Amino acid sequence: MRSTIHSLLLRFAVITAGSLMAGAGMTQDMGQDPAFRSYLESLRPKATAMGIRPATLDSVFPTLTPNPRVVQLDQSQPGGGAYSPIPNFEPYRRQHVDAARISRGRTAYLANRARLSRIEAETGVPEEIMVAIYGHETNYGSYVGDFDLIRSLATLSYEGRRRSLFEPELLATLKMLDNGVSRSRLVGSWAGATGYPQFLPSVYLRLGKDGDGDGRIDIWNSEADALASIANYFVNAGWRRGQPWGVAVSVPATFDRASVAARTTPARCPRVFNRHSRWLSMAEWRSRGIMASGGSWPADGVMATLLEPDGPGKTAYLLTSNYRAILDYNCSNFYALSVGLLADAVRQ
């Protein structure tokens, strides 16, 4: 990291002790940071190029101050080098595909069947996948975060460590405000995810859908809009209609793993994709002694990779291209597996 939290706090020394408030994290009596003000003003040409009105910038820029809590949270994110140990999946599965989350998922599933059925018919994205994402991201809308998005993203962009990531999201949030989204709705995680699906602002602008036909895309209060937007995300990520995300399998003790090792180096998420085998058809996997642990076996021509998240002798998974669509939402094998397993449990 180019600058430590201590140096950043020195830059923010005008902040008075105890000035942090609950909720959106707004502060009082923070004074003016000339460098921060200068950075905000430097965004005007980019904002103008996006069609954001000067009046919108004039109304919001004076209200912004850096939020040191956001910087602290960003700097405390766990790392993990290419060769650091990866824990077992089973403890994560027990925590994220637990009885309470399954029960609440089934309630949300039944309450939304009419709209879910319609969205699946339109998009091919299974009803239960939409519900599982909803459940994983915000526990079915029970917690969506309470950070002021514009302030958080302005802080992270100004800090500069990951400006290439956060500045476009700050501009997208300003565009949302300019489009008429209320500032009071622009809250979420410290890193900018918002609404029931926890979309980044740029994703909301690109893929948000009006699911209830009221002419607005309200992913903060409308389950119909949130579920339609999740489905639209998966359509954009390449979801294939009628194909499962994967299937739990058992691997014979004599299985030759070297013969199915991947032959290419992944350019994206190497810690995720390096754990996968190369692609083989379901017929080829079956010919090598792989057996389904339960559920239906996909069609012979469906291509899949093998993942053994807890190592040999434990439950393994054959994963289709639709699993990759889940990884597009969050590039983590643990996340994607638990979404698929929660979806299956909700549908039962």
CB 66 within 8 A of CB 155: yes
Instruction: Specify the pLDDT at position 266.
Output: 85
Instruction: Specify the pLDDT at position 79.
Output: 58
- What is the mean pLDDT of each successive set of 10 residues along the chain, which is 348 residues long? 38 34 37 86 98 98 96 80 78 96 97 95 98 97 95 96 95 98 96 97 98 96 97 98 96 96 89 96 97 88 97 96 97 97 95
CA atoms within 13 A on the CB side of 158: 26
Residue with tokens 């359509």: 235
Instruction: Specify the pLDDT at position 17.
Output: 32
Tokens of 281: 């058809």
Residues constituting the chain: 348
Rounded-to-integer distance, Cα 54 and Cα 44, Å? 8
- C-alpha 25: how far from its chain's center? 22
* Global confidence as pTM: 0.88
Strand partners, 199: 194
Instruction: Specify the pLDDT at position 4.
Output: 37
Instruction: Specify the pLDDT at position 9.
Output: 35
Residue 10 burial by CB count (10 A; 0-12/13-18/19+): exposed, middle or buried? exposed
Pairing of strands 246-250, 280-281: unpaired
Tokens of 164: 């290439």
Rounded-to-integer distance, Cα 126 and Cα 242, Å? 8
Instruction: Specify the pLDDT at position 91.
Output: 95
CB 342 within 8 A of CB 105: yes
